Amino acid sequence: MASPSPSPSPSRGVMERHLRARATPLLTDLYQFTMAYAYWRAARHREAAVFELFFRDNPFHGGFTVFAGLHDCLVFLRSFRFTDEDVEFLRSVLPPSTDPAFFHFLRDLDCSAVKLHSVPDGTVVFARVPLMEVTGPLAVVQLLETSLLCLVNYASLVCTNAARFRLAAGPGRKLLEMGLRRAQGPDGGLTASRYTYIGGFDLTSNVRAGFLFGIPVTGTMAHSYITSFSSLEEVQPHTLVPRNGDGEPVDLIGPAKGWLSRVSELLGAEPGDIREGELAAFLSYAIAYPTNFLPVIDSYSVSRSGLLNFCAVALALCDLGYKPLGIRLDSGDLCRQSVDVRRAFRLCSERFSVAAFDSLVIVASNDIDEQSLAELNEKENEIDSLGIGTHLVTCSKQPSLGCVYKLVEVKGSPRMKICEDPEKSTVPGSKAVYRLMDAEGHPFLDLVCLAAESPPEAGVSRTCYPLSRKDSVVTVTPAQVACLHQEVFINGQITSPLSSAAESRAKVRTSLQTLSPGHKRLDKPDSYTVALSERLHDLVSEVQKGGSADRGL
């Protein structure tokens, strides 16, 4: 892993062009257009409607979720327009009986009449809480459904996964996302790199993500580089100028061979096991990148070859004033190997009086998942950084968050989905969401209220109805109250500054810090309470009885 390179901040135009190319009005399901057409034919397309976006269960059997994707949704809404090419394609896929005037309607459509209230990017959220409320003409807010779900579902899922890995790893270790080669296509790879960084990872191997989003990038070498060498004759060039620039170039092969003999004696190694090709690869790479020397050392044998060759080349670099970075382990018992490697570093530092060896880093990778990370933490190890790919970006424990987008109001009248499965019923009406906190600032309950009712107040008792406990009633008195929803889009314009990846990352860290330890526990966490206000609970009961919405004949 090379020394991490802080990526220059990309221009806003470059990033937004990328986002607009990813999400256009055609990034949706065909049935959205058939419904929009039916609304239009019935002259209902301009009726005021309210949809809300939420999920029903926290992912990974966890106690929390990190909301992400708002940035992309806002860029999508601002640029929502159908091109002539879009409209002509829709003509070809909708039935020939479709009225041609509908396509003129689509060509002029935008989101200037849409209003969006949302939880901020990077906020810790919980199941059944409305994350977004989308208000506007019925046809256009219907057309937004699939696109908004696409932009929020995976972003929130992979961001939550990254936050869980960060909690499992602890605050001290560096975390490198290296999942591009295992991601679900280039878009999945870029989305993963952006939102794993927001969720708590420090670095990415994804160069394009660094270019687009300003994420620090880093990298090392593959085993193929090591195995491509077979002898020291292949080291070209084999000289290196001292770091201070004084003196003639030094042939690095001789000093490295000398150090290899001394290191082998110090560590009690058998010289016959050392791979000359591996030494050649290390020398070649060190000469190319003398200030970023961090090779993978398990192409053959860590203890009998890789570690010895690394120490020899690293000591030769130190002689010339350079400071090597460390090594990467990619197979075998990572914990045991890291302990052995650290012991060798300390012995070299003490025997050869080389202080640089005291700060060499040990990076580990090897199909690491949340469980193996937890097991790693239970064992003695000396690992400083972790490279994680497959299980991070594919979210192998759970492939989807399951966000849904449901109609809750039309023309000021509440709407509710009522079905045989109570878990799939919705909560009617336009809403506001408040987070109630205790005296220590820990959230303990999210209260979902009707938008028109008075908000809860600090120090004032409030009766509410937990969604997780049917027919139960609780009375709570918050020490602090925060409104979760913010108006972020109105009249075709974004009303608050778009958050950068770094700003959203800081929001995640702050939001997680407020949670009590029980809610952050990765295994069997405490359940967080989401509740309805008394007025909203009464409205649900009324609608269920048929008082405010159709239930069928």
- DSSP notation for 158-171: HHHHHHHHHHHH-S
Tokens of 99: 């009225």
Specify the pLDDT at position 10.
Answer: 60
**What is the four-CA torsion angle of 541, 544, 548, 549, rounded to 10 degrees?**
150
State what percent of residues in the chain have pLDDT above 70. 96
Listed in sequence order, the DSSP H helices in 356-436 are 370-378, 390-393
Its pTM stands at 0.94
Task: Give mean pLDDT, residues 378-407.
Answer: 96
Q: Hey, where are the domains in the chain?
A: 173-392
Q: Does position 18 have pLDDT exceeding 90, yes or no?
A: no
Q: Does position 22 have pLDDT exceeding 90, yes or no?
A: no
Q: Could you tell me the pLDDT band of residue 271, with boundaries at 50, 70 and 90?
A: confident
Phi, psi angle pair for 167, to nearest 5°: -65, -40
Specify the pLDDT at position 553.
Answer: 35
Q: Could you tell me the pLDDT band of residue 552, with boundaries at 50, 70 and 90?
A: very low
Specify the pLDDT at position 35.
Answer: 98
Q: Supply the CATH classification number for the domain 173-392.
A: 3.20.20.70
Task: Give mean pLDDT, residues 296-324.
Answer: 97
Query: Measured between alpha carbons, how far is 379 from 395 in angstroms, rounded to an integer?
Result: 25
Query: Measured between alpha carbons, how far is 16 from 277 in angstroms, rounded to an integer?
Result: 47
Beta strands in 197-257, from DSSP E residues, in sequence order: 203-204, 239-240, 250-251
Contact 382, 40 (CB under 8 A): no
Beta strands in 342-485, from DSSP E residues, in sequence order: 361-365, 385-388, 404-410, 413-414, 431-437, 443-450, 462-466, 474-476, 480-483
Phi, psi angle pair for 530, to nearest 5°: -115, 130
Cβ-count burial 210-240 (b if 16+ within 10 Å, e if not): bbbbbbbbbbbbeeebbeebeebeebeebeb
Q: Does position 547 have pLDDT exceeding 60, yes or no?
A: no
Listed in sequence order, the DSSP H helices in 23-144 are 30-41, 70-78, 84-93, 100-107, 138-143
What residues pair up with 133 in beta bridges, in sequence order? 52, 117
Q: Does position 220 have pLDDT exceeding 80, yes or no?
A: yes
Query: Measured between alpha carbons, how far is 91 from 430 in angstroms, rounded to an integer?
Result: 35
Query: Measured between alpha carbons, how far is 252 from 255 in angstroms, rounded to an integer?
Result: 6
Closest C-alpha among 501, 441, 358, 444 to residue 68: 501
Tokens of 127: 């199941």
Q: Could you tell me the pLDDT band of residue 162, with boundaries at 50, 70 and 90?
A: very high
Q: Could you tell me the pLDDT band of residue 2, with boundaries at 50, 70 and 90?
A: low
What residues pair up with 364 in beta bridges, in sequence order? 329, 386
Q: Does position 414 have pLDDT exceeding 90, yes or no?
A: yes
Closest C-alpha among 69, 134, 142, 146 to residue 109: 142
Listed in sequence order, the DSSP H helices in 270-368 are 276-288, 307-319, 334-352
Q: Could you tell me the pLDDT band of residue 549, with boundaries at 50, 70 and 90?
A: low
Q: What is the SS3 assignment for 516-546?
A: CHHHHCCCCCCCCEEEEEHHHHHHHHHHHCC
How far apart, in Å, are the Cα atoms of 460 and each of 158, 433, 436, 480? 38, 17, 11, 10
Q: Does position 64 have pLDDT exceeding 50, yes or no?
A: yes
Q: Could you tell me the pLDDT band of residue 181, with boundaries at 50, 70 and 90?
A: very high
Half-sphere exposure of 166 (CA within 13 A, CB side): 24
Specify the pLDDT at position 5.
Answer: 56
Tokens of 269: 């190694």
* Average pLDDT score over the chain: 94
Q: Does position 469 have pLDDT exceeding 60, yes or no?
A: yes
Q: Does position 11 have pLDDT exceeding 60, yes or no?
A: no
Task: Give mean pLDDT, residues 410-417.
Answer: 95
Specify the pLDDT at position 15.
Answer: 67
Q: Which amino acid is at 29?
A: D
Specify the pLDDT at position 75.
Answer: 94
Task: Give mean pLDDT, residues 262-284.
Answer: 93
Query: Measured between alpha carbons, how far is 15 from 215 in angstroms, rounded to an integer?
Result: 12
Q: Could you tell me the pLDDT band of residue 8, with boundaries at 50, 70 and 90?
A: low
Task: Give mean pLDDT, residues 144-152.
Answer: 98
Q: Return the higher-pLDDT residue of 550 and 215.
A: 215
State how far Cα 231 lies from the chain centre.
Answer: 43
Query: Measured between alpha carbons, how far is 263 from 269 in angstroms, rounded to an integer?
Result: 8
Task: Give mean pLDDT, residues 341-346.
Answer: 98
Residues 6+ apart with CB under 8 A from 343: none
Q: What is the DSSP string of 427-442?
A: --S-EEEEEEE-TTS-
Specify the pLDDT at position 196.
Answer: 98
Residue pointed to by tokens 């420090």: 202
Task: Give mean pLDDT, residues 70-92.
Answer: 97
Q: Could you tell me the pLDDT band of residue 550, with boundaries at 50, 70 and 90?
A: low
Specify the pLDDT at position 421.
Answer: 74
Query: Measured between alpha carbons, how far is 466 from 528 in angstroms, rounded to an integer?
Result: 10
Query: Measured between alpha carbons, how far is 256 from 263 in angstroms, rounded to an integer?
Result: 10
Q: Which amino acid is at 524?
A: K
Q: Return the higher-pLDDT residue of 534 and 548.
A: 534
